[in-house]
């Protein structure tokens, strides 16, 4: 039995990741801050035949993280998959330009998108170490790629914003650092790029579905023993048909 914890799993890409992992036979722990939404998502998947459990988890609250880790330890004794999916786009100050962005706004986004994955990962790492071959997947984004952002001929060149892009840059680097620390273990740590998906996150403006966005996350969460670690992997920019995956530039 594979035990998977997904943060922010009550909707969007997190929910579809839960569905696809459950379809592969995993017992999926639906991590959600809001109990009502978390239980509703869990019940919806259970009605489809999935083995799901709701775990109340506010990724910005140390007590909530500790309680979730203790529950997983008590009920299962280990964790096979961790998907750090919870994230926020952040509010815009003024026109959203770097010079208009306050440190408080930046701090708010980093609390959820950067500090929280570190806190959750550290809390459950002892459980991941008990698994035969655990997988950690951080849901990142191509907008955090410094290479792509610095290319004047590339599609991300017009973007000049601090909050969300820089948080994903940091998360991708965090992924690499954990992969380096755990390189002599069976644990693999990778960052996934779901691409631009239609979810509540962006007002449903994306050209991919949430289910398509979950595909690279699930791929990395179920890598074989000879799979990569320390990779930024997922949809390549412009592959709107969802057919082109690969390693992405940092």
List, by residue number, the catalytic residues: 164, 168
Q: Give DSSP secondary structure letters for the chain.
A: --EEEETT-SSHHHHHHHHHHHHTT-EEEEEESSHHHHHHHHHHHHHTT--EEEEE--TT-HHHHHHHHHHHHHHTS--SEEEE------PPPTT--GGG--HHHHHHHHIIIIIHHHHHHHHHHHHHHHSSS-EEEEE--GGG-HHHHT-TTSTTTT---SHHHHHHHHHHHHHHHHHHHTTTSS-EEEEEE--SB-SGGGTS--SB-HHHHHHHHHHHHT--TT--SS-EEEEPTT-TTS--EEE---
């Amino acid at each position: 039995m594979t035990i998977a914890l997904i943060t922010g799993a009550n909707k969007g890409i997190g929910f579809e990741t839960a569905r696809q992992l459950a379809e592969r036979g995993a017992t999926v722990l639906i991590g959600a801050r809001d109990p009502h939404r978390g239980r509703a998502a869990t019940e919806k998947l259970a009605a489809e035949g999935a083995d799901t459990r709701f775990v109340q988890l506010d990724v910005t609250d140390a007590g909530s993280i500790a309680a979730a880790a203790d529950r997983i330890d008590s009920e299962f004794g280990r964790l096979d998959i961790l998907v750090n999916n919870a994230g926020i786009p952040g509010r815009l100050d003024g026109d959203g330009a770097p010079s208009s962005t306050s440190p408080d706004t930046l701090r708010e986004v980093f609390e959820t998108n950067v500090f929280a994955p570190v806190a959750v990962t550290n809390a459950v790492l002892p459980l991941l170490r008990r698994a035969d071959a655990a997988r950690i997947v951080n849901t990142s984004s191509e907008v955090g790629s410094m290479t792509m952002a610095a290319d004047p001929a590339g599609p991300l060149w017009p973007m000049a914003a601090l909050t969300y892009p820089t948080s994903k840059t940091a998360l991708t680097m965090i992924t690499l650092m954990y992969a380096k620390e755990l390189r002599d273990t069976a644990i693999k740590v990778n960052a996934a790029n779901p691409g631009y998906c239609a979810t509540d996150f962006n007002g449903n403006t994306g050209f991919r579905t949430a289910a398509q966005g979950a595909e690279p996350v699930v791929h990395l969460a179920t890598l074989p023993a000879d799979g990569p670690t320390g990779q930024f992997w997922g949809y390549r920019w412009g592959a709107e048909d969802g057919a082109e995956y690969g390693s992405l530039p940092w």
